[in-house]
């Protein structure tokens, strides 16, 4: 059974992250167009600040990561002996930590910053400190919310999203695709920047933040539930079933 047969689907994830999503879409019968609109690179300091923070990780009560990219960098630098507890914004983010043998103490039911904030414990009466490892450009919902609850929060840049060169021929194919997939707000905005006003019929988004950005920019939007790659694939299949090909 190929529920996506005859559909062209754009995958906008960074090149080193696109494989699993692109492969799953291909297995479902889609013609996949890989158009990475972000590239993940080291921070401007080469990762020195994150390395320094994690070299004394025991001074933190919690280490919080908000994306798989940040989780991978934390996992690479932690030796597993820290007394700090680990929190991840969702199962996909927790994955690199778990794969490295690290225990993840908190993964919220809603895989967004707001969900983590809702479930995060209060600090000890004597005060507590959190290391938040995230992208260079990110929303301030989490650090502001944690600070408002009494936590001391050290925000450290773990990586940067930058715009890679885009192949014009691939971009032309993407502009006439049936669907584009987004796994982060940054990919929504970068795709819109490079593709211009010509949009596919629909956008499939992994969560509410990317979906809100897509709606703002004029996409007809569907949202994954749960907010994961599996949920995204399910949403794409449901979209295809409800929207038969026009040709």
Terminal C-alpha separation, the chain: 19
**Helix, strand or coil for residue 78?**
coil
Q: Which CATH number fits domain 8-38+163-242: 3.40.50.11540, 3.40.640.10, 3.40.190.10, 3.40.50.10090?
A: 3.40.50.10090
Under the phi-then-psi rule, with left for phi > 0, alpha for psi from -120 to 50, and beta for the rest, what region is 53?
alpha
> Using an 8 Å Cβ cutoff, are 243 and 236 in contact?
no
Whether the Cβ atoms of residue 235 and residue 211 lie closer than 8 Å to each other: no
- Domain 8-38+163-242 and domain 47-159, same fold? Reply is yes
Q: Where are the domains of the chain?
A: 8-38+163-242, 47-159
Give the ranges where 56-119 is alpha helix by DSSP (H): 68-77, 91-99, 113-119
CATH code: domain 47-159 is 3.40.50.10090
Per-residue pLDDT of the chain (247 residues; tens, 9 = 90+): 689 999 999 999 765 454 588 899 999 999 999 998 888 889 999 999 999 999 999 999 999 999 888 999 999 998 767 899 999 998 889 999 999 999 999 999 888 889 999 999 999 998 999 999 998 888 899 999 999 999 999 999 999 888 888 889 999 999 889 999 998 888 898 898 888 766 666 899 998 889 999 999 989 999 998 888 889 999 999 999 998 776 5
| pTM (global) more than 0.85 | no
Residues recorded for the chain: 247
């Amino acid at each position: 059974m190929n529920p996506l047969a005859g559909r062209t689907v754009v995958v906008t994830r960074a090149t080193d992250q696109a494989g699993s999503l692109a492969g799953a879409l291909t297995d479902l019968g889609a013609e996949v167009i890989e158009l990475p609109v972000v590239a993940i690179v080291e921070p401007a300091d080469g990762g020195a600040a994150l390395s320094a923070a994690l070299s004394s990780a025991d001074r933190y009560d919690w280490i919080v990561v908000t994306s798989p990219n940040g989780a991978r960098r934390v996992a690479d630098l932690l030796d597993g002996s820290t007394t700090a507890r680990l929190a991840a914004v969702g199962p996909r983010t927790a994955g690199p930590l778990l794969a490295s043998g690290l225990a993840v103490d908190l993964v919220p039911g809603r895989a967004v910053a707001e969900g983590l904030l809702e479930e995060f414990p209060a600090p000890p009466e004597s005060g507590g400190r959190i290391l938040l490892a995230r992208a260079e450009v990110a929303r301030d919902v989490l650090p502001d919310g944690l600070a408002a609850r009494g936590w001391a929060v050290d925000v450290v840049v773990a990586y940067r999203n930058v715009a890679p060169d885009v192949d014009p021929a691939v971009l032309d194919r993407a502009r006439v695709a049936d669907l584009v997939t987004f796994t982060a707000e940054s990919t929504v905005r970068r795709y819109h920047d490079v593709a211009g006003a010509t949009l596919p019929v629909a956008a499939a988004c992994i969560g509410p933040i990317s979906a809100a950005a897509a709606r703002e920019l004029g996409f007809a939007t569907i949202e994954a539930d749960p907010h994961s790659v599996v949920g995204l694939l399910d949403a794409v299949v449901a979209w295809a079933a409800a929207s038969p090909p026009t040709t």
